[in-house]
Structure 1
Amino acid sequence: MSGEDLLVLFSVAALEALLSGDNALVLAVMVRPLPPHLRARALLYGLLGAYLLRGLALLFAVFLIRLWWAQVLGGLYLVYLIVRHFRNHPEGKPLPEASAKTFWRVVLLINLVDLAFAVDSILAVVAFSKDFLLAFLGVALGILFIRLLAGSVVVLMERFPGLEKVAYALVGWAGVKLFLEGTHTLAHLLHRPGLALALPKAVFWGGAFLILTVGGLLAFRKDA
C-alpha cells in the first residue's frame, strides 16, 4: 500500500467519523437501557451489521441516494425517542434497566438507524475515493471509532446521570437534521428543489454545541 493509499485510507476514516459523529451519541442512548453485560455485545453486533450494510452500500452507492425514506423514518424515530423519554421521565430520572429480551430489538434498531445515518456519509466517501477496498477499510476504521466512542459515552452517562437529558436533547436535534435531509433528498428526486428543506451544517453544529455546553454545565453542576 503506497503512501497515497494510506493518506486516502485515513482521510476516508476521518470523513466517516466526522459525518457520523452524532451516531455515537444515538448508539449510546439506544444501548443505555440494556443490562451492562449486554451493552458491549449489542454494540459489537451493531458493528458487524454496520460493516455488512456499509459494504453493500458502497457497492450500490448509486442507489443509496434514493433511500430518502430511511432518513425520514430514522429522523422521526429519533424524535420519538426524545419525546418518549421526556414524557415518561420528566424529572430526568434514570431509565429503568431493560429486559434482556429486548436485546435483539435494540440490535435491529441500531442497524436500521445506522443505515439512515449512512446515506450522506457513504455518498461523500464514494465521492472521495472510487477504490472499493480503500473506501471500505476507511469506513470500517471510522465505524470502529464511532462504536468505541459510543461505549465511552455510556460510561460517562453512568457517572453523570444528569447528562442523560443532554444526550436525549442532542439525539432529538440529530433526528431533526436526519429528517430534513430525507425531505431534501426527496424534493430533488421529484425535481422540486423549491420544496427542499435543509438544516445548514453551521446551524446544526452550532445548536449541538449550545445544547452540549449549556446542558453539560447544568448536568455537571447538578451531579457535583
Structure 2
Amino acid sequence: MATFFTALLSIVVIDLVLAGDNAIVIAMAARNLPEHLRKKAILWGTAGAVIMRILMTIAVVWLLKIPGLLLIGGVALLWIAYRLLTQSGEKESHGGGVTTMAAALKTIIIADTVMGIDNVLAVAGAAHGSMFLVIAGLLISVPIMVWGSTVALKLIEKFPVTIYIGAAILVYTAMQMIVKEPVIAGFWANFPWLSYVVQIVGMVGILGGGWMVAKGKNTATN
C-alpha cells in the first residue's frame, strides 16, 4: 500500500510540474476567442489533451521505438509557439466563432500532445506498469490545467507581455526536447557548447520573429 501511494504521489508531482506548460498553451490559444467560447475551449481543450495522453501512455512502448520522435515534436512545438505569437490580437467576429473555436481546440490538442511526450514517459516510469496509477494521475491533472489556464488567461488580458513569457516557456520546452533527442545525442556530446547556442538562437528567433510579425499586423490594422 505504501508503494502504491508513493507512486501515485510521484505521478501527481510530475503532472503538477508539467501541467504548467499545458495551461499556458490552452490560455494562449483561447485568448482571441469571444468571451462566451473561452470557458468551453478551456474545458474541451483540457479533455482532448488528457484523452490524447491516455492513448499515448497506452502506446508508450511503441512510441519509444519511433526514431526522431522528440526532434519532430520539438520542431512542431516551436512552430506552434510562433503561430500563437503571430496570432496576437487577431480576434474573430461573432459569426466566425465556431471556426475560431475549432482552430483553438486543434492548436491546444496538437501542442499538448507534443508536450505530452516527456510527460507520458515520466509518468509511465513512475507508475511501474500500473495503468490505474497513470490514468489516476492524469485525471488529477485535469483541475490543475483548467485552473491554471483560467489564471493564465486573466494574466494575458491584464498584462499582454505575459504572452511572450508563455511563448518563451514553450520554446524552452521545445528546445529541451530537441536537445534530448537520442538520434542526435552523440552530436551534442561532442559539441556540448553548441546545444546552448542552438537553444539561444531558437529562443531569440521565435520570440523576435513572432514579435516583429505581430507588430507588423497590428500596424497594418491600425
State TM-score, norm by structure 1.
0.70
Over 3 Å counting, the alpha-carbon distance change for 1:131 and 1:121 in structure 2 is: same
Please tell me the residue identity of whatever aligns with 2:186.
G
Measured in 1, the distance between the counterparts of 2:84 and 2:121 equals 32
Alignment of 1:41-120 (within 5 A): 41-66=40-65, 71-83=70-82, 95-98=89-92, 99-100=96-97, 101-120=99-118
Identify the residue that residue 166 of structure 1 maps to in structure 2.
165
Whether the 8 Å contact between 1:65 and 1:185 is mirrored in structure 2 is no
Whether the 8 Å contact between 2:68 and 2:182 is mirrored in structure 1 is no
Please tell me the residue identity of whatever aligns with 1:33.
N
How many residue pairs are counted as aligned between the two chains?
A: 191
Please tell me the residue identity of whatever aligns with 1:120.
D
5+ residue gaps, structure 1, are 188-192, 212-224
Whether the 8 Å contact between 1:16 and 1:139 is mirrored in structure 2 is yes
Moved more, 124-133 or 154-163: 154-163
Please tell me the residue identity of whatever aligns with 2:110.
L
Identify the residue that residue 14 of structure 1 maps to in structure 2.
13
DSSP-derived class of the 1:44 partner: helix
Measured in 2, the distance between the counterparts of 1:170 and 1:127 equals 24
Whether the 8 Å contact between 1:46 and 1:107 is mirrored in structure 2 is yes
Please tell me the residue identity of whatever aligns with 1:37.
H
Whether the 8 Å contact between 1:81 and 1:172 is mirrored in structure 2 is no
Does 2:174 correspond to 1:195?
Answer: no
Measured in 1, the distance between the counterparts of 2:8 and 2:63 equals 22
Deviation at 1:102, TM superposition (A): 1.6
Please tell me the residue identity of whatever aligns with 1:96.
E
Measured in 1, the distance between the counterparts of 2:33 and 2:49 equals 20
Moved more, 66-75 or 167-176: 66-75
DSSP-derived class of the 1:165 partner: helix
Identify the residue that residue 125 of structure 2 maps to in structure 1.
127
Deviation at 1:153, TM superposition (A): 0.4
**Structure with the higher fraction of residues in helix conformation:** 2
Cα offsets for 1:106-157 (capped at 9, x unmatched): 1122111111111111111111112101111112212431232122100111
5+ residue gaps, structure 2, are 208-222
Deviation at 1:42, TM superposition (A): 1.1
Whether the 8 Å contact between 2:67 and 2:183 is mirrored in structure 1 is yes
State TM-score, norm by structure 2.
0.70
Over 3 Å counting, the alpha-carbon distance change for 1:71 and 1:37 in structure 2 is: farther
Moved more, 64-73 or 35-44: 64-73
Over 3 Å counting, the alpha-carbon distance change for 1:111 and 1:71 in structure 2 is: farther
Whether the 8 Å contact between 1:75 and 1:179 is mirrored in structure 2 is yes
Cα offsets for 1:57-114 (capped at 9, x unmatched): 221110122456664454334433554566x69xxxx613234122112112211111
DSSP-derived class of the 1:152 partner: helix
Identity %: 23
DSSP-derived class of the 1:95 partner: coil
Over aligned residues, Cα RMSD in angstroms?
3.2
Deviation at 1:44, TM superposition (A): 1.1
